[in-house]
Amino acid sequence: MENKETFAKEFFKLYDRKITSGEISFSQIGMSKEDFNRLCIVEGFVPEREKLVTICEKMKLTEEETKRLLAFGEGL
């Protein structure tokens, strides 16, 4: 079975770590509830690039983490 990385998988790895550690709360990440819901239920959903940049900044991601998330937004 293929282990295909998706934006949702990568996002939730980072999000879960940040939420669990108390570094951030949902209201701080800059993602609308609608986009969060789409991320959970729409296969292949990736927010617009501008929103991705905001999410990465507000989550205080490292340069490498930011690159990994933004790569999913290529071509948007």
Q: What is the pLDDT of residues 25-70, one digit of tens each?
A: 999 998 999 999 999 999 999 999 999 999 999 999 999 999 999 9
State the residue range of the domain holding 36: 7-71
On whether residue 2 sits in a domain, the answer given is no
CA–CA gap between residue 49 and residue 76 (Å, rounded): 6
Per residue in 32-43, pLDDT tens? 999 999 999 999
pTM here is 0.86
Where does residue 11 rank: exposed (0-12), middle (13-18), buried (19+ CB within 10 A)? Answer: buried
Q: What's the number of domains the chain is made of?
A: 1
- Asked if residue 62 belongs to a domain, the reply is yes
Q: Residue 76 domain-assigned?
A: no
Is 42 a domain residue? Answer: yes
In a domain, 1, yes or no: no
- Residue 51 counted as domain residue: yes
